[in-house]
Homo-oligomer: A and B are copies of this chain.
């Protein structure tokens, strides 16, 4: 099949399919005489693999490693385990960071009168004014 069908079947955009090949995640794809790429079902499976891994927010570099593992029938599950565990840890620390932000933001939003007057704890906090509560965005307290 040609690239647009591979795209349709895999859910990966035509642009990205070519890109994955260009950066070496996909082996070089066979070409027809006119230069058109020819995709096998196996490559479509690789594309689905990539798509699922992207949905778990793995980087393309990591996905490349995972795909190699998948293709390697002599792999150890511990290798995939290690990669996944490291990624999970990163996800968790990102979640923690975002939650901290969200919590502070929520408290500021709750305090904000949301009216037509200028006084606003949200802006005060960003400006470093010690607000009424213990809201304080961690920052740059170098002075």
Interface residue ranges, A against B (CB under 8 Å): 8-12, 45, 48-49, 51-53, 55-57, 66, 69-70, 72-78, 80-81, 84-85, 87-88, 91-92, 94-95, 98-99, 101-102, 104-106, 108-109, 112-120, 122-123, 125-128, 137-140, 142-143
What residues on B are CB-neighbors of A55 within 8 Å?
A: 101, 137-139
**Number of copies of this protein chain within its complex:** 2
* A66–B123 CB distance below 8 A: yes
* A66–B112 CB distance below 8 A: no
**Cα(A99)–Cα(B101), bound, Å:** 15
**Cα(A95)–Cα(B104), bound, Å:** 14
User: How distant is A115 from chain B, measured CB to nearest CB, in Å?
Assistant: 6
